[in-house]
Amino acid sequence: MALTKKVETRNMVLSIVGERRIEHQLQRLEQRLTHYPEPTATVVLTSHAAQRLTQVDLRVQLGPAGPHLISHQAAETADHAIALAIDDVLRQQERHRSALLHEPSYGVPSRREAREHRHQPVAASSDHEQVQAPAPADVAAADCVHEPDVSITIDPPALHAATHPRSLAGTLDVPEGASGLVVFAHGSGSSRRSPRNRRVARILQDAGFATLLLDLLTAEEEAEDALTGHLRFDIDLLAKRLAGAATWLRVNPVTRGLPLGYFGASTGAGAALVAAAAHPELVGAVVSRGGRPDLAGSALEQVKTPTLLIVGGDDLQVITLNQEALARLKEPKRMEIVPGATHLFEEPGALDRVAELARDWFAHYLTPVGTSRA
């Protein structure tokens, strides 16, 4: 059944190109809702010029008597914000469908992943530097450690107005003979299950890098943020969480000794740069994908870590923000523009190009302890 769509704008006027991109995203939603009778989608786009952000309020009803799925997101461009909202709504729709069919919900490892990876339970507390993990001999015997639900406990000082540690959820993959480790900081409104970051992570794993896809907010905070949207732009909080995870990785027997890099997308790039400036001893390289390095503020001038900024060639507003940030960063630094790519790098081959650029940057700058770069 066709999706009935209504789009409303506030404090903004969409260009013809912008309207086409919004329609493209809504078509993606429509394709996933074809089995529902008379589904509807209402989109309200609001521009916040001072913050250079567009807010999206998306309400989807799965038929006249069906449930309402609601998402509130914000991003640098309207098409990016609505893409995040649609991703969120589709996750809600999948959970609803799975509950009706009593099937595993979105995010459960596939049978292929179960065959290719060996499950290793990992848990740690950076508060007391206590680690519970497989013995090193057991880890070495596995072809690859794959932990889809690693739990990372961060010190109270890394929390926002908190008095006790809280656990962050992540997905950890460590290939045999890994030469480095990349921690992913996702963008606003996304999660460690982001298909874009997971694709980049797989390519890095094939190149011999361990990866940690990390949720920087707890489940309770994500539920709160879905309503208010204020935590996703608390860059200092996200940066402290990221640095706390890096500290945890340094004492984890599975990952200790591996040189570490940050891969930040959207607002996650700002958090990665703030974390790198505050704790340069923890990180050897930073890569930003369609990022908001400007959100790092005055920390940009303090970053000593080699930084690569990757931007889509058609993402004009974000190109400008990255050029301004690049001028404030110290060497080594570089900016790469992927021709024809938009903010989410959805075009054929665009995301693979991002992964190749990130792979080469990390391969050059993430060197084992005790060695120097060529």
123 and 191 share one domain:
yes
Q: Mapped to the 3 state alphabet, what secondary structure does 202-247 carry?
A: HHHHHCCEEEEEECCCCHHHHHHHHHHCCHHHCHHHHHHHHHHHHH
Is the pLDDT reported for residue 81 higher than 90? no
Same domain, 67 and 195: no
Domain finish residue from 76, 101, 126: 101
Average the pLDDT over each of 42-51, 91-100, 180-189, 336-345 and give the range with the smallest value: 91-100
Helix (H) or strand (E) holding 107: none
Give me the phi and psi of 257, to 5 degrees please.
95, -15
Same structural domain for residues 273 and 304? yes
Higher pLDDT pick, 255 / 157? 255
Taking residues 9-15, report their average pLDDT.
88
8 contact partners, CB below 8 Å, separation of at least 6: 42, 43, 44, 45
Residue numbers of the domain that contains 329 = 111-365
> Of 111-115, 162-166, 226-230, 306-310, which gets the smallest average pLDDT?
111-115
Which pLDDT band holds residue 97 (cuts at 50, 70, 90)? low
Check which CATH number belongs to the domain holding 328 and give it: 3.40.50.1820
Hey, is 345 helix, strand or coil?
Answer: coil
For residue 306, pLDDT over 90 is answered with: yes
What is the structure's pLDDT at 104? Answer: 36
Taking the mean position of all CA atoms in its chain, how far away is CA 197? 6
With respect to residue 373, please indicate whether it lies within any of the assigned structural domains.
no
The two tokens of residue 116 are: 């290719």
**pLDDT value at residue 48:** 80
**Pair (51, 130) in one structural domain:** no
Closest by alpha carbon to 126, among 13, 256, 221?
256
Give mean pLDDT, residues 331-342: 95
pLDDT of residue 102 exceeding 70, the answer is no
Percent of the chain whose pLDDT exceeds 70? 75
Confidence label for 188 from pLDDT (cuts 50, 70 and 90): low
Number of alpha helices (DSSP H) and beta strands (DSSP E) in the chain: 10, 15
Q: Is the pLDDT of residue 145 over 80?
A: no
69-78, 176-185, 253-262, range with the lowest pLDDT: 69-78
Same-domain check for residues 157 and 36: no
Rounded to an integer, what distance in angstroms lies between the CA atom of residue 165 and that of residue 125?
9
Assess whether 62 and 194 both reside in one domain: no
Q: Same structural domain for residues 124 and 153?
A: yes
Residue 106 lies in a domain: no
Residue 374 lies in a domain: no
* Segment 299-318 mean pLDDT: 94
Apex 26 CA angle, 2 and 310, nearest 5: 155
Cα–Cα distance for residue pair 154/214, rounded to 1 Å:
13
Confidence class for position 266, pLDDT limits 50, 70, 90: confident
The top-scoring range by mean pLDDT among 84-98, 172-186, 251-265, 320-334 is: 320-334
- Burial classification of residue 151, based on how many CB atoms lie within 10 Å of its CB (0-12 exposed, 13-18 middle, 19 or more buried): middle
For residue 92, what pLDDT band results from cuts at 50, 70 and 90? confident
Lowest mean pLDDT among 41-55, 73-87, 114-128, 293-307: 114-128
Q: Give a yes or no: residue 371 inside a domain.
A: no
Q: Are residues 140 and 54 in the same domain?
A: no
Residue of higher predicted confidence among 52 and 356: 356
**Mean predicted confidence (pLDDT) in 294-323:** 93
Q: Find out whether 293 and 333 touch, Cβ atoms under 8 Å.
A: no
Per-residue pLDDT at 119 exceeds 70: no
Look at residue 307 in the predicted model and tell me its pLDDT.
98
Domain boundary among 59, 81, 101: 101
User: Mean pLDDT over all residues of the chain?
Assistant: 78
For residue 157, what are its two tokens? Answer: 């000082």
Query: For residue 105, what pLDDT band results from cuts at 50, 70 and 90?
Result: very low
Q: Are 97 and 187 in a shared domain?
A: no
pLDDT band at 296 (very low <50, low <70, confident <90, very high): very high
176 and 221 in a single domain? The answer is yes
Distance of CA 171 to the CA centre of its chain: 12
Who contacts 355 (Cβ-Cβ below 8 Å, separation ≥6)? 199, 200, 203, 204
> In the predicted model, what is the mean pLDDT of residues 237-243?
90
Q: Which helix (H) or strand (E) covers residue 56, if one does?
A: strand 53-61
Q: What is the CATH number of the domain that holds 24?
A: 3.30.160.100
Residue 154 confidence (pLDDT): 52
Based on its alpha-carbon atoms, the radius of gyration of the chain, rounded to whole angstroms, reads 20
91 against 330, higher pLDDT: 330
Domain-ending residue, one of 101, 122, 138: 101
State residue 337 phi and psi, 5-degree precision: -110, 125
In-domain check, residue 337: yes
372 within some domain: no
Same domain, 341 and 224: yes
Task: Report the C-alpha gap between 309 and 15 in whole angstroms.
Answer: 27
Q: Could you tell me the two tokens for 66?
A: 């069906």
Maximum CA extent, the chain: 65
The predicted pLDDT at position 372 comes to 46
Beta carbons of 293 and 318 less than 8 angstroms apart: no
- Same domain assignment for residues 310 and 358: yes
Return the top range by mean pLDDT from 41-50, 217-226, 311-320, 325-334: 325-334
pLDDT in tens, 37-72: 889 999 999 988 776 778 888 999 988 877 888 887
CB atoms within 10 A of CB 352: 14
Cβ burial, residue 44 (10 Å; 0-12/13-18/19+): middle
**What confidence score (pLDDT) does residue 163 get?**
35
* Total number of domains in the chain: 2
28 domain-assigned: yes
